[in-house]
Amino acid sequence: MKLLSKLAKARSKKIPSCSAVIAAAGASHRMGGEDKLFIDIGGKPVLAHTLDAFQSCSYIDEIVIVVRDGHMEIAGEICKRHNISKCSKIIIGGDTRPMSVYNGVFAVYDKAELLAIHDGARPCINQEIITKTIEAAAKYNSAAPALAVNATIKKIKDDMVVETIDRSDLFEMQTPQVFKSELIKAALTNAVNKSIDITDDCMAVELLGAPVRVTEGSRTNIKLTTVEDLVIAQAILRGLEI
């Protein structure tokens, strides 16, 4: 056991310091009016499950949580109750997700070399995805997990099928998306200043002409959007087969 511990520490030293920004300032419009981050799953809030994953990751040195106005106290209580000792700050987000993430990345420890940005509403994230994405970003400057699209994709106009899209090179992006600190700060500053409607943080980096390395995602790394997703997440977290 001592040897394994030493090997783990030696491996982690090769990875630059990494801070995690947890985006938890969404409005939860499709969750029936209840904030999905604070819904109980398996005895603890969704946000607690998410934070636990990053608290347990040896590559993560710091956690910054971005919440909606009025939710700082409850997020703080969750951190206290679930021993999220790596949380250094809980800050208020902006009117949009890009603005919220922008606030988050500029609130991290200024010596952080890598920033891992993750949706607070992805509580089923596992250690393998986190570590592999961080390792790829350390090597390639930016990385994000993704899944090949399996479904048939159609382009629709006026309720009629216009075209069947070739899915061979289509992927669904997930989080955490990890970047060199100076790269994502420059990318988000550019997007926010130009009021560009970005749908994920990789898009901000792409707009600067920088490549993003893709790592393997997971079918279980779902983002909670509707009430039905809560049932699936609970089963995943219990280790059941869906």
Residues 79-99 have pLDDT tens digits of 999 999 999 999 999 989 999
Fold topology of 16-237? Spore Coat Polysaccharide Biosynthesis Protein SpsA; Chain A (3.90.550)
Give the residue carrying structure tokens 């970047």: 179
Q: Whole-model pTM?
A: 0.90
Distance CA 146, CA 214 (A): 6
Copy the structure tokens of residue 104: 């988050």
Alpha helices by DSSP H, listed for the chain, are 2-12, 46-55, 72-81, 97-105, 127-140, 181-193, 201-207, 227-237
Domains of the chain, by residue range, sit at 16-237
**Alpha-carbon dihedral sign for residues 194, 198, 204, 207:** negative
% of residues, the chain, pLDDT over 90: 82
Give the residue carrying structure tokens 């382009």: 155
Residues 19-75 have pLDDT tens digits of 999 999 976 555 666 788 999 998 899 999 999 999 999 999 999 999 999 999 999
User: For all residues of the chain together, what is the average pLDDT?
Assistant: 91
